[in-house]
Every structure is written in structure tokens, then in C-alpha cells.
Chains A and B, each alone.
Chain A
């Protein structure tokens, strides 16, 4: 728990996370770029402000829990976990390699700190709802919260709406869902592949409290999470508007970067962008090792 970090420090954490994502993906030679980069600010907010967690004691019984439903974005979670001290940063470079604890999609049993195994889309909300049901009705643990991060393309899955009905029915107020609303999925824009709007209206009609934020404004994300926790008669969902590939200009908004990793040239270029904060800082030390 490190609620003391300033917004600026959290932004720096997000940038560090982005740099690690680029390094990991380059070393892995495959994986998803756009989603993890777009989620870096949210994960900085989650791991360094919002969630009550202890990286030295991943199974701490009073912890908040995070289910990553869109498992393909797990590089951002690994990077945030390493930054938070769950494991050494060097291990990040084993991503997707044989014998690594950092599987291409997260596997709970391999890495302490993961709450579940995910990859196939659409079932994270159900699991988070099951956990939240336990806290609210079976354990009397009112002080703990369950967060779940979902992609927007993932909302095509019927399972999501089964879970949305379930959480609405049981008024799971300790459940906070975050949708990475970046408008892309593998085959193109979400509104072309399978329109999601009116997204707010859909969730409201399922009995959810809906918040919308700029997913790159860390202060807004933290505020939205606080408001979500304050709602005691409904589950909450934060629709976080993000830019896929955020921070690396040649990846931003381009759905082709959804499912691929940068090669070494592209990684060098991306790291330069990140280190100079998109050209805002200009000094020679901003090169790449």
C-alpha cells in the first residue's frame, strides 16, 4: 500500500511500466503491444494507489484482488507487479519463454500475486463477481474490494452479460469493473466489428453504477475508483477511455498493433519516445542500451 505517491510519481511509474512493456515484448518476439501500453496509467493507479495490497505477502487475507479478464494484456500487469516488488524486474525478460513464470497469458499457479488464469475472453467478470459475492454475503469482509479489468472488444462475449446480470441481481457493491475502452479489436474498430454503444446505457440497464474517465488521467482514474467504492447498493463500472498504444506515437490508434510485438528497431524508437516523454525532453542520455 503506497497511497503516498504523488500524481506525478504515479505518472512516472506508468512511464516505467511502458518502457518495461516494450522491453519485454521485444525480448519475447511476440505478444500484444497496444492494449498493455494503453492500460499503463490504469495499472499504475491500481498497483500504487487504488488497491490495498502487499507485494511481500501476495495471499494477504485482507488484500484487494484484481482479476485480469483480457489476459492478453498481461505484460502491463507483469510490469506493474515487478515495479511493485512482487518479483525482480529482470524476470520480465523471460516473458513467453519456456519455463517462465510469466506465461503469454496469466496462469495463477505459476506466479504468486495473480488471482486467476485467463486468456479466453469473457469470463473474468464472472470470477470477480464470484469473489465479490463471497466477500459480501459469505465472509462479511466489507473492507475488501474486487477489481476486474476487461477489454472493450471482449464485451462481444455473451458470458460478460451473464455476469453483468448476476452482479446486478446481487448488487455486488464491492465489485469494481474497469473497461479499457480503446475502440479496437483484432479485426478493426469495435464499432465496425460489433457495435458496443450505447455502452453506458447497456451497463446502467443491467443495474450498474457507471463512471466514465479519461484512462490516461491518473487522478481521474483514482477518483472514479473512490466513487465506485462509495456506492454501496450496486456494482460499479468505470469506462476508461484510452488510446491503444498510448505513449508510442507510431502505435497509437493503430489496430494493427493490437496483437504484435515490436522488433528491435521499433523497440529502440519506442523507448526513445517514452524516455523523452514524446520529444518533450531532449537530451542525449535518452538513448537505449
Chain B
């Protein structure tokens, strides 16, 4: 069964919405069905869209102030008392500031705290490098017990939020600030640990996470004009990886491109490289932040500058395809 894509994605009518908006909606819905859910924020309640939950369930919202270490450790204590805590801040601060508390009090301690890192990636824009979290995927996927999810759009973020509310495990949800294209629809599937083939092809597999999966779809369209038939895989769950779907696609195409709005070293591209080098060695190129920090600029300007748009990716992919033999054929 093919993945239902939003019909307008390649038109001027493409719907744009911040991924974090889906989280805000999803948390409110989850809060309605499960009264064990509580929400904590470190002075960024509207930015992280937690205000939707706060306004609906003021008694289950906890303001901790600008104190991210306390944020997650209090959440751990709430979980011990039987609650399902969602703790939100900017990803730059949580898990950026409080990684050890997350490791000890949530991951080793195996408590079902949900860490919500908003404003991840360079698309935060003018705030610059200190606020553009690029290392969170690496930081969180290295932790045993931790589930790591980077939804592709706001519709999927809502589903992911509802899913982690009920998964009983420590979980990290990566969100972005800026509006980004909505490529999925209400009926598009989402399951933790599942990757999805958005577009079938046989010359190369383009594997993305977060909003980069949309850019890869766009790149695939442009590539077809150059006679390259690309498969596009969307991987919202970075940990645990859907090895089966990724390996099956790799066997079909024999060449891999990964894309993420994060450091490729240790990040999503790193995760795919680890998988393939152990189980199915295949030529691979990682698109993302190339071991450098971001900088100030308009969000779309930065995505373009760092080569994170479909248009910019095309040149990289074409060169890779022309210079790389196709394995497993």
C-alpha cells in the first residue's frame, strides 16, 4: 500500500505549518484521553506550543522557570509517582543543557518521560548558532532505552505525540520552529519504529528524517527530469531504526543519500551509515550539517546556504549517482 501524500505538495498551494503546532494539538488530544499526562515547561510555553495543553488543563501544567536540569529531573519524579510527563523547551537547552539528568534520571532510570526539543535545526534562523540545535539527534540516539523521533511535518507530529504518550518509554521528540510543508495527510500511517516509502524508485534511495523528507521528495521530482529514478524513504523514528525497510530499499537501489537538519556526524546519517556498514555495505553520502555550526540568517536562506533544499540537493545527488556504482544489482 502506497503512502498517501498530500495532493498539493508540489503546487503553490502547499500547506505550510510549523511541526511544533502538531505537537501542541497532539498533546491536548492526548491529555483528553489520559489524565495521567502532565506537562512541564521551562519558560517557553507558547514557543513550544504547550500553551494549548496549559489552557485546557491548567491543573496538570507545571511551570519550572528557566531551569532545564530541574525540568527533566522533576519530570522523572513525576513519572515515578505514576504520571506521564511531557517536558518541553528549546532543543538547544533540553537536551542541550541537561543531558546528564536525562541519562541518569530518565534513561538509566527508565522512566516514561517525554522530552520535547523544539526549535531544532538551522531553520530557527536569525537567533544564530547558539540556538540552532544540531547535535540533539546524536545526543539522544546514543542513550539506551531512549526512543528518538523527528516528525516530518505537523500532521505527523500530532500522531507522534499521541503515540509517545502511550508507549511507556523514555522518548525524545524533535520539533522545528518555522513553517514547513505538510506532505502527509490524516490517513498517512505513523507508527513508532516504522519508516515509510514515500516514492518508489530504483536508481538511488534518498533517506530523510524530519522536514528533510519533503525536500528529498522535491529533489526526486527534479531528478526524474534528469532521468534519475529515486526512491524516497521517510524515517521519522531515528531510534529504533526500521532496519527492514531501509535495508530492503538499499537492496533495490544500491546507493544511498541521507538528509537531516542536524550534524551528519553522530546524527541521522551516522545512524544509517552504522546500519549499512554492518549489515549491507553500500555507497552512501550524507546531506546535513558538515561538522560546523550554523549562523544567523532567514530560515529559508539558511536552508539554501547549507544545501538543505531539494533544489540544492539535486546537484549533490546527480554527481553522486554519476560517480558511484550501484551495489547489490
Contact = CB atoms under 8 A, between A and B. Distances in A.
Interface of A: 65, 67, 107-109, 115-120, 122-123, 126-135, 137-139, 158-159, 162-163, 165-166, 169
Interface string B67-87: 101100111111111110100
Contacts of B110: 108-109
Given A123-B69, A126-B73, A133-B78, 20 more contacts: A116-B109, A118-B105, A120-B101, A126-B77, A131-B78, A131-B81, A134-B81, A134-B82, A135-B81, A137-B59, A138-B81, A138-B83, A139-B82, A158-B69, A159-B70, A159-B101, A162-B65, A165-B70, A166-B64, A166-B74
Contacts of B70: 126, 129, 159, 162-163, 165-166
Given A109-B110, A117-B109, A129 B100 contact: no
B216 to A, nearest CB: 39
Interface of B: 38, 59-60, 62, 64-65, 67, 69-70, 73-83, 85, 100-101, 104-105, 108-110
Query: Would you list the 10 A-B pairs with minimal beta carbon distance, nearest first?
Result: A130-B77, A126-B73, A134-B81, A162-B70, A127-B77, A162-B67, A130-B74, A117-B109, A123-B73, A131-B77
A116 B83 contact: no
Contacts of B75: 130
Given A137-B59, A166-B65, A117 B74 contact: no
Contacts of B79: 130
Nearest to B113: A130
Contacts of A67: 77
B190 to A, nearest CB: 29
Chain A interface, DSSP helix/strand/loop, else mixed: helix
A158 B73 CA distance: 13
B101 A129 contact: no
B69 A159 contact: yes
Contacts of B67: 162, 165-166
A144 to B, nearest CB: 10
A127 B69 contact: no
A134 B73 contact: no
Contacts, number: 104
Contacts of A119: 104
Nearest to B83: A134
9 contacts: A116-B76, A119-B104, A130-B74, A131-B81, A138-B83, A163-B73, A163-B74, A165-B70, A166-B64
Contact of A117 (B38, B64, B105): B105
Nearest to B63: A169
Contacts of A116: 76-77, 80, 105, 109
Contacts of A131: 77-78, 80-81
A118 B111 CA distance: 13
A67 B67 CA distance: 20
Contacts of B78: 130-131, 133-134
Given A116-B109, A165-B67, A130 B101 contact: no
A139 B110 CA distance: 22
A146 B152 CA distance: 41
B81 A123 contact: no
Contacts of A138: 38, 59-60, 81, 83
A107 B108 contact: yes
Given A138-B60, A162-B70, A118 B104 contact: yes
Query: Which of B59, B76, B79, B105 has the largest number of chain A CB atoms within 10 A?
Result: B105
A123 B67 CA distance: 12
A151 to B, nearest CB: 16
Contacts of A132: 77
A159 B98 CA distance: 10
Given A133-B62, A138-B38, A127 B74 contact: yes
Nearest to A144: B81
Nearest to B110: A109
